[in-house]
Structure 1
Amino acid sequence: MTSVRRLVSATSVVMLAVAGALAGSPASAAPPGDVDPDTPWRMRHWPQTQPWQVDEAVALTGRGGGPRPVDPQRYELPDTMTWDDYRAVPGTDWADPAVRGSERTFNGALVLVDYPNQPFVVTQPANSTIYGNPSGVQNLDRAEVPQFYRDFLNKPGKLNRGHTIHEYWMEDSNGRFGIELSSFGVYQMPSESHEYGIEAQMQRGQGCPAGDQCNRNLRTDARAAWIAAVGENEAAKYDFVFFLSAGQDESATWQEFGSMKFATKEDVTDDFGPPDDALPNWNATRYVEWTSWQASANIWPNATQGSSLQAESSGMSTYAHEFSHILGVGDNYNNPYGIPARRDYSGPWEMLSRGTFNGPGGPHSRWLIPGTAGSSMGAQHMLRNKMKLGIADEDQVVRLSRDALATSGVVVTRVTARAVASGGINVTLDGGDRSPACDATTDPFCDGGGYDNYTLEVVDRIGFDSFTPDSGVLLAKTKNADAAPFIWTIDANPQDIDKVDFVAPDGTPQKMTIGDYRQLSDALFHAGTGSGSQFEHVDAANRLHFYVLDRSRNRKGVLSYEVAVRSLDGAGPATRGVKAWPATARRDNSGWARCSIPVRNTGRATDVFRVAAPNASLPRTVIAVPAGRTSTVEVWLKDARRTPVTVTSESSPAARATTSCSVKGSSSGPGR
Structure 2
Amino acid sequence: MRRANRTHQLRRAFTAAVAVVAATALLSGPGIGPAQAGPGTRAAALDPVDPQTWQDQETMTWDDYRAVPGANWADPTRQPSQRKLRIALVAADYPDQPFVITQNRGSDLFRNPQVAPVARADVSRFYADFWGRPSTLNHGHTVHEYWMEQTNGRIGAEFTPFGPYRLPRKQFEYGLNDIGQNGGGCPAGSTCNGNLDADVDTLWRAAEGSDVRNRFDLVLRVYAGYDETSVWQEFGEMMFQTKEDVPDAWGPPDPNLPNWVRSRYVDWTSWKAGSQLWGSSSMRQGESSGTITHEIAHTFGIADNNNNPYVSPYRRVGSGTWDVMDRGSFNGPGGPHNRWVVPAAQGAAMPAGQTLRSKLKLGHIAEAQVLRLSREALRTSGVAVVTVKARTAVPAARDIQGVRIGMDRDLTPACDINTNPLCPGSPVYNWYSLETVQRIGADSFTPDNGVLLAKNKDAETNTCGYTCFTWVVDANPQDIDMVDYYRPDGTPVKRTIADYRQLNDALFHAGTRSGSEYEYVDTANRLHFYVIDRRVGADGVLSYTLGVRHLDGSGNSVRGVTAATSGSPTGSPTNGGATCTFAVNNTGRYVAGGQAHPEDASAYLRADVYRLSATVAGQGWTVTLPNALTTAEFGRTVNVRAVATATSGATQTGRVTLTARSESDPSRTATATCQVAR
TM-score normalised by structure 2 residue count? 0.87
2:609 counterpart residue number: 608
Range 48-57 or range 630-639, more displaced? 48-57
**Equivalent of 2:577, from 570, 574, 592?**
592
Q: Secondary structure of the residue that 2:505 maps to in structure 1?
A: coil
1:369 counterpart residue number: 342
2:273 counterpart residue number: 295
Q: Secondary structure of the residue that 2:347 maps to in structure 1?
A: coil
Name the aligned partner's letter for residue 344 of structure 1: V
Shift in Å, 1:561? 0.8
Whether the 8 Å CA contact 2:31–2:449 is kept in 1: the answer is no
Aligned residues: 612
2:430 counterpart residue number: 452
1:553 counterpart residue number: 536
CA distance in 2, matches of 1:202, 1:186: 29
1:196 matched to 2:164? The reply is no
2:146 counterpart residue number: 168
Q: Secondary structure of the residue that 2:468 maps to in structure 1?
A: coil
**Equivalent of 2:107, from 128, 132, 135?**
128
Whether the 8 Å CA contact 1:204–1:284 is kept in 2: the answer is no
After superposition, give the CA deviation of every residue in 1:401-427 in whole Å (9 maximum; x if it has no partner). 111111111111111111114753443
Shift in Å, 1:399? 0.5
Name the aligned partner's letter for residue 590 of structure 1: N
Name the aligned partner's letter for residue 637 of structure 1: A
Distance 1:127 1:283, change over 3 A: same
CA RMSD in angstroms comes to: 2.0
2:69 counterpart residue number: 90
Shift in Å, 1:233? 2.3
Distance 1:532 1:57, change over 3 A: closer
1:36 counterpart residue number: none
2:619 counterpart residue number: none
CA distance in 1, matches of 2:560, 2:298: 51
CA distance in 1, matches of 2:416, 2:32: 46
Shift in Å, 1:659? 2.5
Whether the 8 Å CA contact 1:413–1:564 is kept in 2: the answer is yes
**Equivalent of 2:548, from 553, 565, 570?**
565
1:439 counterpart residue number: 416
1:42 counterpart residue number: none
Shift in Å, 1:53? 7.7
1:345 matched to 2:318? The reply is yes
CA distance in 2, matches of 1:531, 1:591: 18
CA distance in 2, matches of 1:439, 1:421: 41
Q: Secondary structure of the residue that 2:624 maps to in structure 1?
A: coil
Q: Secondary structure of the residue that 2:321 maps to in structure 1?
A: helix
1:74 matched to 2:53? The reply is yes
Mapping of residues 192-341 of structure 1, within 5 Å: 192-199=170-177, 201-304=179-282, 308-315=283-290, 318-341=291-314
CA distance in 1, matches of 2:353, 2:194: 33
Shift in Å, 1:202? 2.4
Q: Secondary structure of the residue that 2:460 maps to in structure 1?
A: coil
**Equivalent of 1:107, from 86, 104, 108?**
86
CA distance in 2, matches of 1:50, 1:149: 32
Distance 1:576 1:313, change over 3 A: same
Whether the 8 Å CA contact 2:485–2:493 is kept in 1: the answer is yes
Shift in Å, 1:211? 1.5
- Structure 2: any 5+ residue segments left out of the alignment? 1-26, 462-466, 590-605, 616-621
CA distance in 1, matches of 2:383, 2:409: 21
Q: Secondary structure of the residue that 1:412 maps to in structure 2?
A: strand
CA distance in 1, matches of 2:643, 2:342: 55
CA distance in 2, matches of 1:591, 1:520: 34
CA distance in 2, matches of 1:56, 1:576: 35
Whether the 8 Å CA contact 1:447–1:485 is kept in 2: the answer is no
CA distance in 2, matches of 1:362, 1:430: 36
After superposition, give the CA deviation of every residue in 1:66-109 in whole Å (9 maximum; x if it has no partner). 51100111110001100100111111011111112111111110
Q: Secondary structure of the residue that 2:459 maps to in structure 1?
A: coil
1:149 matched to 2:132? The reply is no
Shift in Å, 1:523? 0.6
Whether the 8 Å CA contact 1:527–1:551 is kept in 2: the answer is yes
After superposition, give the CA deviation of every residue in 1:334-392 in whole Å (9 maximum; x if it has no partner). 11112101111101110010111111100000000000100101111111010111111
2:464 counterpart residue number: none
CA distance in 1, matches of 2:295, 2:179: 19
Q: Secondary structure of the residue that 1:226 maps to in structure 2?
A: helix
2:664 counterpart residue number: 651
CA distance in 2, matches of 1:57, 1:601: 28
Distance 1:564 1:421, change over 3 A: farther
2:13 counterpart residue number: none
Name the aligned partner's letter for residue 51 of structure 1: P
1:21 counterpart residue number: none
Whether the 8 Å CA contact 2:32–2:449 is kept in 1: the answer is no
Shift in Å, 1:646? 1.6
1:490 matched to 2:491? The reply is no
CA distance in 1, matches of 2:611, 2:122: 65
- Structure 1: any 5+ residue segments left out of the alignment? 1-47, 666-672
After superposition, give the CA deviation of every residue in 1:437-464 in whole Å (9 maximum; x if it has no partner). 0001000100012111111111111111
1:642 counterpart residue number: 655
After superposition, give the CA deviation of every residue in 1:268-299 in whole Å (9 maximum; x if it has no partner). 11111011111100110111111001111001
1:184 counterpart residue number: 162
Whether the 8 Å CA contact 1:340–1:444 is kept in 2: the answer is yes
Whether the 8 Å CA contact 1:402–1:427 is kept in 2: the answer is no
Shift in Å, 1:540? 0.8
Whether the 8 Å CA contact 1:635–1:661 is kept in 2: the answer is no
Whether the 8 Å CA contact 1:268–1:292 is kept in 2: the answer is yes
CA distance in 1, matches of 2:172, 2:459: 35
1:662 counterpart residue number: 675
